[in-house]
Structure 1
């Protein structure tokens, strides 16, 4: 199937996708965003579609997985926020006297540490951080699940080593 045919089939299924997305989100704006994300992923991974299979089913699977991954990221973010809702008084004082410049340096250090990771470690680590499960990452990168686990573990170790200057600072508050 060429690009024009693929895009035509995609646009034909847009209304069905919007209806399906609304069942997940229960909100028209969120459903529209989910459809857009689904269509972008479908275009990006169009080479993975196998001729002779159910095109709409393939799109629905992409949408379902996109919604689930988004939900997982939201849950992970909420759990991080709920942990921070119970911040000790000592950390509140520290953050109250801290400034944006200090935060900028911390972010630069984190960015620098991330840039030191080789792509084969960085990619699985970022996917895991985004909320993907090990088996999903293995499927995306087409590598064994054990390799995914090892690379994430190694990436954590490298980051921990490169950011050890913050270890004492944060352990006081944990």
Structure 2
């Protein structure tokens, strides 16, 4: 299917996608973003669509998977590393938050340990916990996927060793 024909066909399904996206996000602007991501992926992977099959179902599947993947990325990012300069108590492991003073020490220790990671370990580690997949990190850093996995593993080992005092 040619690109201009695909645009027309996708536009016909936009109202259905809108209501489906809103059920996931419960927010107008996030629903619009999800629709846009879905449309872009549909155009990018148009060659994967088999003519004669249900286009609407294919689009809904792309949207659902996009939403799930984005949700997982966000969950992982919020679980370990934040974009803020300072990590709050809410983002620390529960074992590190017995009281406010201990939490402040834990935050300082985590930030200190992260800052001491060699750049070759730090970059893939942070990207992984921001929700990027191994192959995305490999492309971004222009290194083999096996190297990405090794560096993330090494970063985890260093962090576990340096922060073992906070284990339960």
Scaled by the length of structure 2, what TM-score is found? 0.62
Distance in 1 (alpha carbons) for counterparts of 2:75 and 2:134: 23
Is 1:84 matched with 2:92? yes
User: 1:53-112 CA distances to partner (integer Å, 9 max, x unpaired)?
Assistant: 111111111111112223333444555585616324556225348878x75553724227
Distance in 2 (alpha carbons) for counterparts of 1:45 and 1:107: 37
Distance in 2 (alpha carbons) for counterparts of 1:19 and 1:73: 23
Is 1:168 matched with 2:161? yes
2:36 paired residue number: 36
1:139 paired residue number: none
Is 1:9 matched with 2:9? yes
Is 1:95 matched with 2:107? yes
Taking a change above 3 Å as real, the CA distance of residues 107 and 51 of structure 1, as seen in their structure-2 partners, is farther
Is 1:49 matched with 2:60? no
2:117 paired residue number: 106
- Report the aligned-residue RMSD: 3.9
Is the CA contact 1:91–1:173 (under 8 Å) kept in the aligned structure 2? no
Distance in 1 (alpha carbons) for counterparts of 2:148 and 2:114: 23
Is 1:19 matched with 2:30? no
Distance in 2 (alpha carbons) for counterparts of 1:3 and 1:51: 14
Ranges in structure 2 where 5+ consecutive residues have no aligned partner: 82-89, 127-132, 139-144
Distance in 2 (alpha carbons) for counterparts of 1:112 and 1:28: 33
Is the CA contact 1:38–1:63 (under 8 Å) kept in the aligned structure 2? yes
Distance in 2 (alpha carbons) for counterparts of 1:124 and 1:99: 25
Taking a change above 3 Å as real, the CA distance of residues 107 and 50 of structure 1, as seen in their structure-2 partners, is farther
3-state secondary structure, aligned to 2:117: helix
| Alpha-carbon shift at residue 49 of structure 1 (Å) | 0.6
Distance in 2 (alpha carbons) for counterparts of 1:4 and 1:26: 31
2:84 paired residue number: none
Taking a change above 3 Å as real, the CA distance of residues 98 and 125 of structure 1, as seen in their structure-2 partners, is closer
